[in-house]
Structure 1
Amino acid sequence: MSYRVAVVGATGAVGREMLKTLAERDFPVREVIALASGRSTGHEVSFGEKAVLKVQSLDRFDFKGTEIALFSPGAAVSAQHAPRAAADGCVVIDNTSQFRMEPDVPLVVPEVNPRHLKNFARRNIIANPNCSTIQMVMALKPLHDIARVKRVVVATYQSVSGAGKEAMDELFNQTRAIYVNDPTVPEQFPKPIAFNCIPHIDRFLEDGETKEEWKMAAETRKILDPDIAVIATCVRVPVFIGHAEAVHVEFETPITEEQAREALREAPGVQLVDKREDGGYVTQVDAAGEDAVFVSRLRRDPTVPHGLAFWCVSDNLRKGAALNAVQIAEALHEQGLIRPRRG
């Protein structure tokens, strides 16, 4: 059984990673179509080591006969075209924020809440969570199963690739400019990003939170447990790929460090790398190009009755986006929830 798969936003960083991941994991495809905006039509993108795809226009594409579409073109484009694809019978796996909090759209991390997948049929859309949320709930799930998470305080250290290729270019150009004493003018970020940290991701809300911080709280509750309290501070840092998080968790009942370690060792998609010595932890540079969510610096938090603290790192373009989307497609395939079609 194989599928016709469309990748929407194929020329972007996440879209290219989706194509790479589909090929690496040998997802059963009979045809792959690369779609993007009209200005990218005719460009070429790689699929696997040998195949090259010509980018087609999303505006003109007919989704009839396409079983799966992986979307990562930006929320406004998904809002316009994802329902069109879904109405044509194509299962949309959307990586943007457009549908995540809609009650009839499942928000899924396959290792955490695969049972929610069966609820996709009403809209034919499944939402990929925010990259920073994915890695955090991956680490929280095995702990939540033991002692139930009550409250999470998290500070993120998010790479510029989360803001797209232009943001990565801005970090590179600003860094080079500083070394040659050229002026730096922020365009993608509100302040210079080279040699700097910016505590501002997405727009500000009325209560002082940013939208990124709100997403982490709302999405964690939708995916894991509606009763979990989450307060986040999201920070953009001068790193090209990989998000890191300092996570402090309060549990409803006691949990020991050894219980937590054992649960994390057994958790699918999670790797515990925690040696209490110089370099005995994972950083963003280490995680780039890797599929796992890495947990380090696990220790007791003595400031609350039942508390743990840990450091969590993952490649935001892989597990934080492309890999999670492909894993959703794999789960649909394994559960027999997609039927091959012919247009």
Structure 2
Amino acid sequence: MIERAASPQEPPGDEAEFRQLVERYRREIYAHCYRMLGSVQDAEDALQESLLAAWRGLDGFEGRSSLRTWLFRVATNVCLRLSSRRPRRMLSSDHGPARSGTRDLGEPVTGPVWLEPWPDDLPADDEPDPAAAYLRRESVELAFVAALHHLPGTQRAVLILREVLGFTAAETAEILGTTSASVNSALQRAHVVVRERLPRRSQQAELATVGADGRRALVNAFMTAWERADVPALLDLLSEDARFTMPPLPAWFDGREDVGRFLTERVFATPWRLLPVAANGQPAFACYQYDGERFRLGAVNVLSLRDGRVSWIAGFVDPEVTRRFPVPAEISPQDR
């Protein structure tokens, strides 16, 4: 499923050759850093640091393993070091209980604490195999990445390296500087934690069940209801236990009734326009709020589905997060 070097490689001779050789792995390493760190910004920083460290450490690459294995060893260790210095990325439900009242949404909780979305214009890889591409999309889903961040760093790395990237136990042990027995033990422990936190079916399975036409119909219905501030129509699209989260604001709402109250009393106090996008392999919208003159980008909402209904609206309102999506910062009332 995953392309590997057929035999050990010679180290590249100069910087241009190095850049050419590592370019094929850049996106894969980038996505790996996102899974490890839960943040696009952190993943960008880790990618750049990893490639710089790999170039500076070329003398240490002796060709006993593939270049891909060696690069992932460098990148994984960069990610482990960065993650050890910061709090783990979390969801709103990890921060505190849901709220019922809508008046006080709390002060924004700043700092590198919230799980961030992955814009799908930043592909997880260039994998031509449809089955492998499906696996890659599953491995950047919000629920999966959130579950990863309940693991210690080494267990997180083991699970990603073994089950997402397809490294053997021996290769993973080489990357982490440990033994195959330790890798297998860590993988078993990681499975227990992640399985407890994942939904019954992945978003890729949910979307496959809905089908392409069903997905388009849901996206259109959601967008139309939101732009019309039609709360009853929106609630018809939600599961009974739907959640609405909006980091860095700590407030979140649990259940169709409380979500509906929040939409009515706070969200639709001003008009909105939506542009469909995609994030984490899931349907999403860039949400533009009217300020009296223009519609300005105010949030990105990522949808999670269960049995054809929206079970989670993951709103992200931090401008540092929303600006990473390839959409305009504002639109005029006439734009669509």
Higher helix share: 2
Query: One fold, TM greater than 0.5?
Result: no
Which protein has the larger Cα radius of gyration, Structure 1 or Structure 2? 2
Question: Under a length normalisation based on structure 1, what TM-score does the superposition of the two structures give?
Answer: 0.27
The structure with the largest strand share of the pair is 1
> Structure 2-normalised TM-score?
0.28
